[in-house]
Amino acid sequence: MTAHIIDGNALSAQLRADVSARAALLTERGFKPGLAVLLVGDDPASAVYVRNKVKACQDHGLHSVLERHPATLSEASLLARVQALNADPAIHGILVQLPLPAHIDTQRIIEAIAPHKDVDGFHVASAGALMTGLPGFWPCTPHGCMKMLESIGYELRGKHAVVIGRSNIVGKPMALMLLQAHATVTICHSATPNLAHHTRQADVIVCAVGRRGLLLADMVKPGSVVIDVGMNRDQAGKLCGDVDFEGVRLVAGYITPVPGGVGPMTITMLLINTLEAAQASAAAEGQA
Question: Which residues lie near ligand NAP (CB under 6 A)?
Answer: 141, 164-167, 169-171, 188-192, 195, 208-211, 229-232, 262-263, 266
Q: Shortest approach of ligand NAP to residue 142 CB, angstroms? A: 9
Catalytic residue among 53, 147, 172, 221: 53
Q: Shortest approach of ligand NAP to residue 253 CB, angstroms? A: 21
Q: Which is nearer to ligand NAP, 39 or 164 (CB)?
A: 164
Q: Shortest approach of ligand NAP to residue 182 CB, angstroms? A: 24
Report the chain's terminal Cα–Cα distance, integer Å. Answer: 48
CB atoms within 10 A of CB 84: 12
Q: Can 53 be counted among the known catalytic residues?
A: yes
Q: Shortest approach of ligand NAP to residue 216 CB, angstroms? A: 12
Q: Which is nearer to ligand NAP, 170 or 251 (CB)?
A: 170
Please enumerate in sequence order all residues whose Cβ is within 8 A of that of 40, keeping only pairs 6 or more positions apart, or say none: 69, 70, 71, 73, 78, 96, 97, 100, 101, 104
Rounded CA gap, 253 and 269, in Å?
25
Rounded CA gap, 106 and 20, in Å?
32
Q: Which is nearer to ligand NAP, 61 or 263 (CB)?
A: 263
Q: Can 287 be counted among the known catalytic residues?
A: no
Q: Can 83 be counted among the known catalytic residues?
A: no
Q: Which is nearer to ligand NAP, 20 or 192 (CB)?
A: 192
Query: Quick one: DSSP state of residue 235?
Result: T
Catalytic residue among 18, 59, 88, 97: 97
Q: Which of 213, 214, 154, 212 is nearest to 189 (CA)?
A: 214
Catalytic residue among 120, 228, 242, 244: 120
Please, are residues 192 and 221 in contact by the beta-carbon 8 Å criterion?
no
- Scanning the chain, the segments in alpha helix (DSSP H) are 8-28, 44-59, 75-86, 106-112, 124-132, 140-151, 171-180, 195-199, 245-248, 262-284
Q: Which is nearer to ligand NAP, 104 or 215 (CB)?
A: 215
Burial of 233: CB neighbours in 10 Å, binned 0-12, 13-18, 19+: exposed
Q: Which is nearer to ligand NAP, 88 or 259 (CB)?
A: 259
Q: Shortest approach of ligand NAP to residue 117 CB, angstroms? A: 20
Q: Shortest approach of ligand NAP to residue 141 CB, angstroms? A: 4
Please, are residues 282 and 270 in contact by the beta-carbon 8 Å criterion?
no
Using alpha carbons only, what angle is made at residue 142 by residues 168 and 251, rounded to the nearest 5 degrees?
120
Query: Quick one: DSSP state of residue 74?
Result: -
Active site residues: 53, 97, 120
